[in-house]
Amino acid sequence: MPDPTLRELSRRAIRQRLGDVAIRIFAERGYAATTVDEVAAAAGISERTFFRYFGTKDQVLFFRADEDTQMLVDRLRERPVGEAPWISLRQIVLVSLDLLDDEAELERERMLRSILNSTPELLAHQLARVADTQRTLGDALWERWIAVPGHREDDADTRLVLRALVGAMLGVLTEVMMHAEDQPPAERRRLVRTALDAIRPGRVDLGGEPDA
Amino acid sequence: MPDPTLRELSRRAIRQRLGDVAIRIFAERGYAATTVDEVAAAAGISERTFFRYFGTKDQVLFFRADEDTQMLVDRLRERPVGEAPWISLRQIVLVSLDLLDDEAELERERMLRSILNSTPELLAHQLARVADTQRTLGDALWERWIAVPGHREDDADTRLVLRALVGAMLGVLTEVMMHAEDQPPAERRRLVRTALDAIRPGRVDLGGEPDA
DNA sequence: GACAATAGTGGCAGTCTATGACATGAGCTC
DNA sequence: GAGCTCATGTCATAGACTGCCACTATTGTC
């Protein structure tokens, strides 16, 4: 990022501000009961301009999550080539949970979850996003897999298994985030770690049984 | 059903007709490009009345799927008590695939899939529905499990495993339906059967390794 | 620094989904 | 058939979006 031009800075700032304002108002008065106009006004812009930043009312709640997905993929790419897939996954997930150590971030996550849980339409959107993350991470894992000498590009079975691995991991993550939402960050981290270890794959080349 | 009163008959007929008309028009002209008013008019009713049959525009595409879920649960309840969960699941899924032998039903499923795949919002709705089916079937499976003498109601591990079983099964089903949509029914049935056998659980009391 | 090209903004009108209120007319109970 | 309930249509309205146009701010060029 060489040139954070003034326009670009302003754009990011307004996006951020809209995101913060929206999540707070939605949490207070409810998602359906809040109009886009109210959110825009609270952020100091017109309704028309809101829709130039976010295509729809709900996107204002999810743009941060898009960044999270990208962060997971980036971190995955930073892991050493040849590391067993399950180990890589476990690592990047546990690191990303550290975000919740930040008090403000934790509070934000709480509000977001309460909004999502009380609006079926948003929950559906969330599921679609998880499915998307699963696909993206699965592809990235596969790219890394076939980059290892000796691994074949036509190993369809393993490709499927890798997708399943991501699915299992995200499944655990969602389960814990949904059903242990009141637990402190440390406890949630422990739960995730325990669950991940419980379902680790049998195949050693995938990262199973590292201590056997 | 003792008394299919005239009103009730009419209501069902109109619902059915709306569903058929809507899916056809959406497939022809696109979901977003078609207004509710057009669908209602094509079915011979007013827009206002459409919303008395379906709360939202997209519900007209999913009410049949709701019936399918109910059918799965009903069929599960008809299986002998004490049958291993995985066997029961495999059975009811394979039987339900027979629906696609009906030419009209197959064509309908094709149109529906094409509409869903070209509208992210509908795909999200679909995912939410699958999640819901998973919960419902998981609960039903659990009810049957604890009805067996010797099985304990506080066996949280097994309860989780049962949910995971349903998740795995629905995962396979969705995967095949999405990625083998052009295959004839017999081939799809074969794929599902193969995949289900490949991922059957290890624990014998769940229905794994029946032929070992 | 002046200038033109480019991009962001608000206001306005209009479409579409969805809902409440009301009147009318069909079916249902006795 | 009288009285009742329920379904429907019409009308009006809120709220999410979108296209259009005029206006202002920023950028790049000389």
Q: Which residue of A has its CA nearest to B120?
A: A128
The runs of H, that is alpha helices, within A30-102 are 36-43, 47-53, 59-78, 85-96
Q: What is the pTM of this model?
A: 0.87
Instruction: Give the residue among A175, A176, A139, A142 at the shortest CA–CA distance from A158.
Output: A142
Contacts of B125 in chain A (CB under 8 A): 124
Does A160 have pLDDT greater than 90? no
Structure confidence by residue, pLDDT tens digits, B130-187: 988 988 998 999 999 999 999 999 887 788 778 778 887 887 788 787 777 788 888 8
The whole-angstrom distance between B124's CA and the closest CA on chain A is 5
| A171 close contact with B: CB closer than 8 A | yes
Does A1 have pLDDT greater than 80? no
Contacts of A125 in chain B (CB under 8 A): 124
Does A76 have pLDDT greater than 90? yes
Given pLDDT bands bounded at 50, 70 and 90, which one contains residue A209?
A: low
Q: Does the fold of domain A58-202 match that of domain A1-56?
A: no
CB neighbour class for B113 (10 Å; exposed up to 12, middle 13-18, buried from 19): middle
The DSSP call for residue B210 is T
- Residue B151's region, left for phi above 0, alpha for psi from -120 to 50, else beta, is beta
The C-alpha atoms of residue A69 and residue A129 are separated, in whole angstroms, by 9
Six-digit token pair at B125?
């709705």
Does A66 have pLDDT greater than 70? yes
Contact A127 B123 (CB under 8 A): no
Structure confidence by residue, pLDDT tens digits, A100-123: 899 999 999 999 999 999 999 999
Considering only residues 28-47 of protein chain B, which place a Cβ less than 7 A from any atom of strand D?
44-47
Where in chain A are the domains?
A: 1-56, 58-202
Q: What is the pLDDT of residue A8?
A: 85
The C-alpha atoms of residue B136 and residue B72 are separated, in whole angstroms, by 10
Does A2 have pLDDT greater than 50? no
Mean local confidence (pLDDT), A42-60: 96
Half-sphere exposure (CA, 13 Å, Cβ side) for A169? 26
Residue A196, classed as helix, strand or coil, is helix
Within chain B, what is the greatest distance between any pair of CA atoms?
61
The whole-angstrom distance between A130's CA and the closest CA on chain B is 10
The DSSP call for residue B98 is G
Domain A58-202 sits in CATH at 1.10.357.10
The C-alpha atoms of residue B121 and residue A122 are separated, in whole angstroms, by 10
With beta carbons less than 8 A apart as the criterion, state whether B124 and A125 touch: yes
CATH architecture label of A1-56? Orthogonal Bundle (1.10)
Q: What is the pLDDT of residue A54?
A: 96
With beta carbons less than 8 A apart as the criterion, state whether A89 and A142 touch: no
How far separated are the first and last CA of chain A, in Å rounded?
45
Consecutive 10-residue averages of pLDDT for chain B (212 residues): 69 93 96 96 96 96 90 94 91 90 91 93 93 90 93 84 81 78 86 81 72 45
Q: Express the helix, strand and coil content of chain B in percent, nearest 5 each.
A: 75, 0, 25
